[in-house]
Structure 1
Amino acid sequence: MSLNKIGLRINTDFQRVEKKWIERARKIQISIVGDVCYRLKGFHAGFNQYGKKKKFAGPALTVMVRPGDNLMLHKAIDIAQPGDVIVIDAGGALNTAIFGAMMSNHALKRGVEAMVINGAIRDAEEISHLDMGVVALGATPNGPFKTGPGEIGYPITCGGVVIHPGDLILGDWDGVQTVDLSEVPRVIEEAEAIAIKEQEWEKQIQNGTWDRKWVDEFINKLL
């Protein structure tokens, strides 16, 4: 199968973020990672958690489909590697679901870490019991079409952020955060350092010793 025309193409030849960074990133709140990325790489609000696994991390397998069509999403699940986070730009359409229970079970069997969908799902109750991350804009009983076309393994936009295949995708209760592949080591190391500082601040809060001088200092800068 040779699919290499714009709008109908599949790319599997891309580098994925190393597993050691994935495991280190998994231990950090995504809000801290977002701060290191200057608040520019996190999804906008409006995405909802549907899967049982609320905290997830893995390399992006990117998919673009027409609104309401999931043919290429089926193909993406078939070729996904264990640990992948499949990120789908479905145009933000909410009137037709492109992902449901049977696809969830198939993805779970394939070892997919999570699904992140700029669009809608269905079978939400069953999906809520599966040990996989599933994030989407909404749910609807309306099912999908399977006429194509679509793209796998090319840059997409989701949640207001450009995502390249292989980028690090993180999820937790705050939403979804991305990190460019080339920036992962630096970002994770800086985020780990901030996490240690925040743990110390939490101790100071509990002890009543948190230094609050910075509040007045910031206000005085406005004068």
Structure 2
Amino acid sequence: MNQVAIKTIERADAAVIEGLAECGVATVHEAQGRTGAMEPEIGAVVPGAAVAGSAVTVLCAPGDNWMLHVAIELMQPGDVLVVGTTSRSLDGFFGDILAEFVSQRGGAGVVLDTGVRDVKDLRTQGFPVWSRAVSPQGTVKETVGAVNVPIQCGGRLVIPGDVVVADDDGVVMVTRKQAAEVLEASRQRIDKEEAMRQAIRQGGNTLDLLGLRDKVIEKGLKYEDGPVDWSPRGA
């Protein structure tokens, strides 16, 4: 493991990050070609939380959260801490005390490919956390890892400074250099969906609005007059 803590990273424009937060995970995921989503096991610990921010990455040894303490000190307001390990580890890497530390640094939230604990306190604090598991098992501070290096989290490569978007639907990553482009595509998608919503309220049908009616027939669907008796023969 590369034992290094990079102190300075490049970040996307703050207005772009804020805009991606407003668009939400599902819209951003679709807008960038259905890419960037972390595995669905990375779920919200605090329901209703929604954030976006620049990724400050942490690479830890299994069962060892020492590097979180190093990384949080380097966070800037609006950053999201993203934690991975060199091999699978579901121990409780993060709890209410570290949440207080991140809050004091102005961090927007935390995403962990590990477990968390102190869930009741985290929910009382309303602190945004996404994790793979919940576990009371604590961690040690023995092995030096790395901060602000590329890591794997939730099955996704995360580069320091990439934009993290997280809400109840999960977590999606947007590369820093494409963030503005993805935001524009996300807003276009929102406008399109709003137009469809209005059309539905006026009696529109999604098969027609999405151009799916002829396609489903071409794929072999047949409409037949009913009703049909589906009871087993001889019943």
TM-score (norm 1): 0.92
Say which SS state the counterpart of residue 9 (structure 1) adopts: coil
Say which SS state the counterpart of residue 98 (structure 1) adopts: strand
- Cα 1:211/1:65, change in 2 over 3 Å: closer
**Equivalent residue for 1:68, pick from 63, 69, 73:** 63
What is the CA-CA distance between 1:29 and the residue it aligns to?
Answer: 2.3
User: 1:3 — aligned with what?
Assistant: none
**Equivalent residue for 1:191, pick from 177, 186, 193:** 186
Say which SS state the counterpart of residue 212 (structure 1) adopts: helix
What is the CA-CA distance between 1:109 and the residue it aligns to?
Answer: 1.2
User: 2:77 — aligned with what?
Assistant: 82
CA distance in 1 between counterparts of 2:6 and 2:173 reads 20
**Equivalent residue for 1:119, pick from 100, 114, 121:** 114
RMSD: 1.6
Pair 1:219-2:191 in alignment:
no
Say which SS state the counterpart of residue 27 (structure 1) adopts: helix
Say which SS state the counterpart of residue 119 (structure 1) adopts: strand
The total of aligned residue pairs comes to: 217
User: 2:230 — aligned with what?
Assistant: none
- The amino acid that maps onto 1:145 is V
Pair 1:106-2:79 in alignment:
no
CA distance in 1 between counterparts of 2:206 and 2:164 reads 34
What is the CA-CA distance between 1:21 and the residue it aligns to?
Answer: 0.3
Say which SS state the counterpart of residue 10 (structure 1) adopts: coil
- Checking the alignment, whether the CA contact within 8 Å between 2:32 and 2:185 is kept in structure 1 is no
Larger Rg: 2
- The amino acid that maps onto 1:47 is I
Say which SS state the counterpart of residue 125 (structure 2) adopts: coil
Show structure 1 runs of 4+ deviating over 4 A. none
Matches within 5 A, 1:168-183: 168-183=163-178
CA distance in 1 between counterparts of 2:48 and 2:74 reads 22
**Equivalent residue for 2:160, pick from 161, 165, 169:** 165
User: 1:147 — aligned with what?
Assistant: 142
What is the CA-CA distance between 1:206 and the residue it aligns to?
Answer: 2.3
What is the CA-CA distance between 1:53 and the residue it aligns to?
Answer: 5.8
- Checking the alignment, whether the CA contact within 8 Å between 1:34 and 1:41 is kept in structure 2 is yes
CA distance in 2 between counterparts of 1:130 and 1:184 reads 30
Stretch deviating more after TM superposition (42-51 or 169-178)? 42-51
What is the CA-CA distance between 1:211 and the residue it aligns to?
Answer: 5.1
- Checking the alignment, whether the CA contact within 8 Å between 2:82 and 2:111 is kept in structure 1 is yes
- The amino acid that maps onto 1:8 is Q
CA distance in 2 between counterparts of 1:183 and 1:222 reads 36
Q: Provide Cα deviations, 1:65-109, integer angstroms capped at 9, x if missing partner.
A: 011100011111111111100000034422x21111111111111
CA distance in 1 between counterparts of 2:34 and 2:125 reads 31
TM-score (norm 2): 0.87
CA distance in 2 between counterparts of 1:99 and 1:61 reads 15
User: 2:200 — aligned with what?
Assistant: 205
Gapped regions of structure 1 (runs ≥ 5): 1-5
Q: Give the percent of matched residue pairs that are identical in Structure 1 and Structure 2.
A: 26
- Checking the alignment, whether the CA contact within 8 Å between 1:51 and 1:130 is kept in structure 2 is no
User: 1:93 — aligned with what?
Assistant: 89
- Checking the alignment, whether the CA contact within 8 Å between 2:60 and 2:83 is kept in structure 1 is yes
